[in-house]
Amino acid sequence: MHKLFYIFLLTGMITASCNDASDSGPANSKDTTRIQGVKLPEKQNFQSTIDSMQTDMYVLKNKNGMTAVFTNYGGRITSLFVPAKNREMTDVIVGFDNVQDYVNATEPYFGATIGRYGNRIAKGKFTLDGKQYTLAINNAPNHLHGGTKGFQYVVWNATQLNDSTLELRYTSPDGEEGYPGKLDVKVTYGLTADNGLTMDYEATTDKKTVVNLTNHAFFNLNGEGSGTINDHMLMINAEQYTPVDSTLIPTGKMEPVAGTPFDFREPATIGSRLDTNANDQLKYGKGYDHNFVLANAPSQELRHAATITGDKTGIRMEIFTQGPGLQFYGGNFMQSMNTFKGGVNDDFRTAFCLETQHFPDSPNQPNFPGTVLNAGETYKTRSVYKFSVQQ
């Protein structure tokens, strides 16, 4: 292990931060460090005060050198360095190298932990036990990703449990963004010995509510700034998907992928059937922005959801989840309005998202797997994003 990086980790394990939001995150006497020649962000650039809470940067590492960088502002993953076929470490997450750029970004979801409800809820309304709840309309005419101040804007209480594990906690008060019940949330991110990024979500409530937690990492397996993701090879383990209306709300049907551009049961490049003029579903989302109904899910066991491979680096990402759905978003609304840490812009379709979650608008769709959480119950789900190299 590089001596400077060892000092960084050792200092982090024995030095606790004195503020509430970062109660045991690793401190670093140096502003920068390197892993296998790759420069990490400067820790001080993530240290700020937002909503009277202290933000910070956290570095996770496994024995293989795989390294993840997080900030507790929005519970975001900001970098993920994995080995490519040339043995060089490649950052497969697009994002920023400082907290202020996340605050100012025109895209609020880069790398963020999403809640209370990931994805859309039609017209910002749902009903529980005969009572209608009204949420913010922040993706007109619908509610998206928890509202105008969803979890992506929260400063989470962070505890780095060890070199490879970060725990984030947040209590969402009753009525926040219109949702009922006080919701206590714990999200644990970790790196495994076999190059997996684990995401464990837990939540409890004191009043019946709806919950759908996920992470909104934007990936490019060829590395940030490498161009289009349309030549990535994608396989999704789904026989069905949920078609949407023109506002991207599911119609309530689960239709076969066979014979459609949504059939990724056999690997295909993302762009191979991406003709938005020939398919209304692709036209509505300006490309792929759809939920896939995963085979053999939901389940207490991890199930294979998808595999995607970067065409230039050979980096392969396999996704496993206990959840019922996978939202595939192809970067169709990226508009070159933000400059990433490597100096490139967020150009059209230069990153993708594969979000493990429940289906969009489930609170209003009786045929979809339920998202209601009762008082006294625990919401708990796990996903793993595992990386390897295709030689």
CA angle (5, 10, 14) in 5-degree steps: 150
Do 81 and 201 fall within a single domain?
yes
Note the pLDDT tens digit of each residue in 298-323. 788 999 999 999 999 999 999 999 99
Do 288 and 193 fall within a single domain?
no
Do 326 and 248 fall within a single domain?
yes
Which stretches of the chain drop beneath a pLDDT of 70? 1-37
Do 237 and 374 fall within a single domain?
yes
Do 177 and 324 fall within a single domain?
no
Note the pLDDT tens digit of each residue in 93-116. 999 999 999 999 999 999 999 999
Do 165 and 269 fall within a single domain?
no
Note the pLDDT tens digit of each residue in 54-97. 999 999 999 999 999 999 999 999 999 999 988 889 999 999 99
Per-residue model confidence (pLDDT) at position 37: 59
CATH assignment at residue 201:
2.70.98.10
Per-residue model confidence (pLDDT) at position 266: 98
Per-residue model confidence (pLDDT) at position 252: 97
Q: Which of 159, 183, 214 is the last residue of a domain?
A: 214
Per-residue model confidence (pLDDT) at position 21: 54
Do 47 and 192 fall within a single domain?
yes
Does residue 68 lie in a domain region? yes
Residues serving a catalytic function are 216, 355
Per-residue model confidence (pLDDT) at position 22: 47
| Number of domains forming the structure of the chain | 2
Do 51 and 110 fall within a single domain?
yes
Per-residue model confidence (pLDDT) at position 96: 98
**Rounded CA gap, 95 and 78, in Å?**
5
Do 231 and 201 fall within a single domain?
no
- How many CB atoms sit inside 10 A of residue 15's CB? 14
Domain that holds residue 258: 227-389
190: which residues sit within 8 A by CB, 6+ positions away? 60, 164, 165, 166, 197, 198, 200
**Rounded CA gap, 315 and 313, in Å?**
5
Per-residue model confidence (pLDDT) at position 174: 98
- pTM over cut 0.95: no
**Rounded CA gap, 104 and 107, in Å?**
9
Q: Tell me the helix, strand and coil percentages in the chain, rounded to 5.
A: 10, 40, 50
Do 202 and 240 fall within a single domain?
no
**Rounded CA gap, 35 and 57, in Å?**
16
Do 200 and 240 fall within a single domain?
no
Phi, psi values for residue 368, rounded to 5°: -90, 150
Note the pLDDT tens digit of each residue in 122-137. 999 999 999 999 999 9
- Collect contacts of 279-286 with beta carbons under 8 A, ≥24 apart: 281/243, 281/244, 284/244, 284/245, 284/246, 284/248, 285/244, 285/248, 285/332, 286/332, 286/333
Per-residue model confidence (pLDDT) at position 234: 98
End-to-end CA distance of the chain: 25
Do 197 and 241 fall within a single domain?
no
